């Protein structure tokens, strides 16, 4: 079965620091898609970043970037210059043909940015 | 502004009662989804619809029903057969098509049992 594991239930860092959230997944497929979603206290889920497995280049979106290690099946999210508004739950998700392209979600990491 | 509207924000269900959660989108998206979120767990897919008048079961469809009579609406009914309905329910939509595109989410409905 395809699974997504987020090993850090909760993390906290000081404002302006850099933080990395980990995500690993299990699949036998060679092509798939990976996502990071953010759920702030308002509970409305927002897409942070999307990565296609066949693309070598790591995706970036402003202060957010990923470290995609295909062989290790790892997809970590790096947040640079963290801000108070980054406080949220962060979910990693996986999608492939085997899942009919529906998302398989990790359990989430609660990130707290301290002033 | 375009987006997804879920209502109500909070809902209480009595024993043996069916309740319906509303989800409306004005993004002109073809695909719509219902997810269940429990504490400490990832989202789980209940039902999804790729096109009007068609929908498919997700991983945890038992005890739930949906309809897709209009492109913009995808209501979810939690039936009395769902024995553990207390959870946060999220509706989402996407442009649609074969490949996974960005999901747009509503603000959710918290369902509790009285």
Residue A2's pLDDT is 86
The full length of chain A comes to 115
Quick one: tokens of B61?
A: 């469809």
Angstrom distance (rounded) from CA A79 to CA A74: 16
**pLDDT range class, residue B40, cuts 50, 70, 90:** confident
Nearest CA in chain B to A108: B42
Angstrom distance (rounded) from CA B58 to CA A4: 17
Q: Please name the helix (run of DSSP H) or strand (run of DSSP E) that holds residue A66, with its range, or none.
A: strand A64-69
**pLDDT range class, residue A1, cuts 50, 70, 90:** confident
- Neighbouring C-beta atoms of residue B40, cutoff 10 Å: 8
Percent of chain B with pLDDT over 90: 82
Q: Are A2 and A102 in contact (CB under 8 A)?
A: no
pLDDT of residue B29 exceeding 90: yes
Percent of chain B with pLDDT over 70: 99
The overall average pLDDT reported for chain B is 94
The overall average pLDDT reported for chain A is 95
**pLDDT range class, residue B87, cuts 50, 70, 90:** very high
What is the distance in angstroms between the Cα of A17 and the nearest Cα belonging to chain B? 26
Which residues of chain B make contact with A35, given a CB cutoff of 8 A? 100
Which residues of chain B make contact with A103, given a CB cutoff of 8 A? 43, 45, 100, 103
A69-98: pLDDT as tens digits:
999 999 999 999 999 999 999 999 999 988
A31-47: pLDDT as tens digits:
999 999 999 999 999 99
> Is some CB atom of chain A closer than 8 A to the CB atom of B103?
yes
pLDDT of residue B1 exceeding 70: no
Angstrom distance (rounded) from CA A55 to CA A62: 19
């Amino acid at each position: 079965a395809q699974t997504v594991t987020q090993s850090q239930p909760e993390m906290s860092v000081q404002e302006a620091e850099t933080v990395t959230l980990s995500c690993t997944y299990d699949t036998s497929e060679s092509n798939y898609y990976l996502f990071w979603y953010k759920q702030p206290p308002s509970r409305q889920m927002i897409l942070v970043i999307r990565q296609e497995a066949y693309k070598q280049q790591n995706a970036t979106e402003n202060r957010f970037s990923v470290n995609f290690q295909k062989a290790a099946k790892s997809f970590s999210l790096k947040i640079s210059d963290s801000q108070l508004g980054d406080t949220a739950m962060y979910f990693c998700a996986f999608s492939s043909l085997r899942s009919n392209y529906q998302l398989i979600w990790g359990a989430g990491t609660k990130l707290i940015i301290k002033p | 502004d375009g987006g997804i509207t879920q209502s109500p924000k909070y809902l209480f269900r009595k024993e043996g009662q069916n309740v319906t959660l509303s989800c409306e989108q004005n993004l002109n998206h073809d695909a719509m989804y219902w997810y269940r979120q429990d504490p400490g767990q990832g989202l789980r897919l209940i039902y999804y619809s790729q096109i009007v008048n068609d929908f498919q079961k997700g991983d945890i469809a038992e005890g739930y029903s949906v309809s897709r009579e209009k492109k913009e609406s995808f209501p979810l009914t939690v039936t009395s057969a769902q024995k553990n309905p207390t959870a946060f329910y999220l509706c989402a939509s996407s442009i649609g098509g074969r490949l996974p595109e960005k999901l747009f989410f509503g603000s959710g409905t918290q369902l509790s049992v009285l």
